[in-house]
Amino acid sequence: MQKTAVQPRQSVAMMQSRRRENIAGYLFMAPSLLFFLGFVVFPMVMCLVYSFTDYTMTSFSFSGFANYQRMFQDAIFGKALWNTIILVLISVPVTCFFSLWAASIISKLHDRTTSFFRCVFYLPVVTGSVAVTVISRNMNWLGDASTALGCIITILLTTSVGQPIVLYVSALNNVDQSLVEAASVDGATNLQTFWRIKWPQIMPTTLYILVITTINSFQCFALIQLLTSGGPNHATETIMYYIYYNAFKLQSYGYGSAMGIILALIIAAFSALQFKVAQTDNG
């Protein structure tokens, strides 16, 4: 008898507390959700919608997959895609390898020296692309179609190693020291210790760095816009710059949006692939 009397009361109290939790949760979420939905999610959805239209300054009507078909026949888009992939395939491994190498050296130094190096390598990220381009814009190599992309990649590298180095330094400092010592007692060489002990432990960091570097390299824009405008003869055309050119110079909003969707899909595919590879590596 007592039991039946207590239980409904308890569940009413639970429902009340759950309701309170819901209301409080959404009230706390409200400001960030408002900004997020209004200025990130809504434009994303609209981007998808635009990609199926022939949206320009003068027209706005649905055109099905016309934009996507046009992309396949667009030689410059092909060139831009090719350049972007080269840029990603070079800059991502080089960035990851260099930052791991640099971090493995500077993480062994004294705290002050470590933070000095960390700052120096972060400098180009802080000052931004505009400052970097101010001094490199008159390089002759940028005007030559055969060397221009190489130049862009080199400059891109300087602006992209900062964050990975910071991440690797802290990951390497967090590696379980007792394992490292045990390995060296067992007579493992430095290289063996690195691959067998440290590498598996910093794997999550590596994965994160791969993903963010890939995303950033795919979106390489400011350097191109400031230095070469995609030239000479489309030698440095990247997808991001071509999207900008179509959407904001030619006002082909529909076509630009469709390319944006394709770029997002490519980046998603690359990230998924990296997760998959990293998982099989671990397991």
Partner 1 sequence: MSDNIAAIQKKMQRKQANTGGDHSVHQITPYEIAALVVLIIIAILFIFPLYWIITGSFKNAQDVIAKVPVWFPLQPTIDNYQRLFARPAVRWLGNTVFLCAMSMALTCVSASMGGYALAKKKFAGRTIVFSIFVCAMALPKQVILIPLLKEMAFLKLHNTLWAVILPTVGWPFGVFLMKQFSETIPESLLEAARIDGAGEARTFVEIVLPIIKPGIGALAIFTFITAWNDYFLQLIMLNDTDVLTISLGIAKLQSELSNDFGLIMAGAALGSIPIIIIFLLFQKFFTRGITMGAVKG
Of residues 52, 77, 121, 242, which one binds partner 1 by CB under 8 A? 121
Using rule CB under 8 A, residue 28 touches partner 1:
yes
How many Å separate Cα 11 from the centre of its chain?
Answer: 47
Contact stretch for partner 1 (CB under 8 A) within 21-29, 63-71, 145-153, 195-203: 21-29
Q: Which is nearer to partner 1, 103 or 149 (CB)?
A: 103
Is 257 a binding residue for partner 1 by CB under 8 A? The answer is yes
Residue span 209-248 as binding mask against partner 1, x where in contact by CB under 8 A, dash where not = --x---x--xx-xx--xx-------------x--xx--xx
Gap between the Cα atoms of 73 and 138, Å rounded: 34
For partner 1, which residue of 70, 86, 90, 122 counts as binding (CB under 8 A)? 122
Pick from 35, 62, 65, 195 the residue near partner 1 by CB under 8 A.
Answer: 35
**Per CB under 8 A, 5 contacts partner 1:** no
Least distance from partner 1 to the Cβ atom of residue 171, Å? 8
Confirm or reject binding of residue 182 to partner 1 (CB under 8 A): no
In terms of CB distance, is 151 or 166 closer to partner 1? 166
139 near partner 1, rule: CB under 8 A: no
From the CB of 248, what's the least distance to partner 1, in Å? 6
Q: Which is nearer to partner 1, 76 or 130 (CB)?
A: 130
The interface region with partner 1, picked from 6-14, 133-141, 142-150, 195-203 by CB under 8 A, is 133-141
Smallest CA-to-CA distance from 276 within 207, 183, 175 is with 207
Within 8 A by CB and 6+ apart from 73, the residues are none
Q: Does position 250 bind partner 1 by CB under 8 A?
A: no
- Report the site for partner 1 in 185-204 (rule: CB under 8 A): 190, 204
Contacts of 125 (CB under 8 A, 6+ apart): 159, 160, 162, 163
User: Long-range contact list for 270-274, CB < 8 A, 24+ apart?
Assistant: 270/88, 270/214, 270/218, 271/211, 271/214, 271/215, 274/207, 274/210, 274/211, 274/214
- In this complex, which beta carbon is closest to partner 1, that of residue 149 or of residue 163? 163
Give the footprint of partner 1 on residues 58-97 (CB under 8 A). none
| 57 lines the binding site for partner 1 (CB under 8 A) | no
Least Å distance, CB 79 to partner 1, is: 19
Query: How many Å apart are CA 236 and CA 80, to the nearest integer?
Result: 8
Query: How many residues line the site for partner 1 (CB under 8 A)?
Result: 88
